[in-house]
A and B are shown apart, each in its own frame.
Chain A
Amino acid sequence: QKEVEQDPGPLSVPEGAIVSLNCTYSNSAFQYFMWYRQYSRKGPELLMYTYSSGNKEDGRFTAQVDKSSKYISLFIRDSQPSDSATYLCAMSFGSRLTFGEGTQLTVNP
């Protein structure tokens, strides 16, 4: 069993939709939770990171962590075609970072 599970998609939504991306994990020692966006095999770009359970908002993006369920989510409001990319969740314990497989998202105009 992988430590971090992420549905690879692909996920296709119309412009303006609310997108929900999710990851589950098995290692309760994970301390920080991150979301990265990767455009067509470019370098992953850090979107947000959170430490504790709860929500963190940044513009159209909201990251949610539920440590009791070992479940994290990224919500994208008012999705735009420019949001089309692969979204990777990542979790860290100490200096070790573990990535999910990534979810491929397409936002259609």
Chain B
Amino acid sequence: DSGVTQTPKHLITATGQRVTLRCSPRSGDLSVYWYQQSLDQGLQFLIQYYNGEERAKGNILERFSAQQFPDLHSELNLSSLELGDSALYFCASSISGSYVYEQYFGPGTRLTVT
């Protein structure tokens, strides 16, 4: 158990809908990262937050947004969902926002868009 929690574990929804994925980092970690993993691609970095502020952006679509709250939990919002958004979404956390070498992953949320 990495100490990172994610809810829900599974999500099935229809095209055009909006969903919210939730992540709680390990105790003491200030950085939260979101990744997407689909069958035909590896882990794709989406976005990083550090202590409530956006720190880095990766290949995140405009339909996706995220935030980190004062209690350090984070939410990833996916809107206008398309079939191609079906994937595993992982949250990871680390202590530092400047250097990453120990990043711990949650169990993931499996999103299926029908």
Contacts and interface: CB of A to CB of B under 8 A. Distances in A.
A65 to B, nearest CB: 12
Interface size class, chain A: 20 to 34
Contacts, number: 65
A94 B101 contact: no
Contacts of B97: 95
Interface string B74-114: 00000000000000101000001111111111111010000
Interface string A91-105: 010111111111000
A27 B106 CA distance: 28
A92 B101 contact: yes
Interface stretch (B12-20, B41-49, B63-71): B41-49
Interface in A34-58: 34, 36, 41-46, 49, 51
B88 A41 contact: yes
- A-side interface mostly: strand
B105 A101 contact: no
B105 A95 contact: no
B90 A44 contact: yes
Interface in B31-71: 31, 33, 37, 42-43, 45, 48, 50, 55-56
Nearest to B104: A46
A43 B43 contact: no
12 contacts: A31-B101, A32-B99, A32-B101, A43-B108, A44-B43, A46-B103, A46-B105, A94-B99, A95-B50, A95-B56, A95-B96, A97-B103
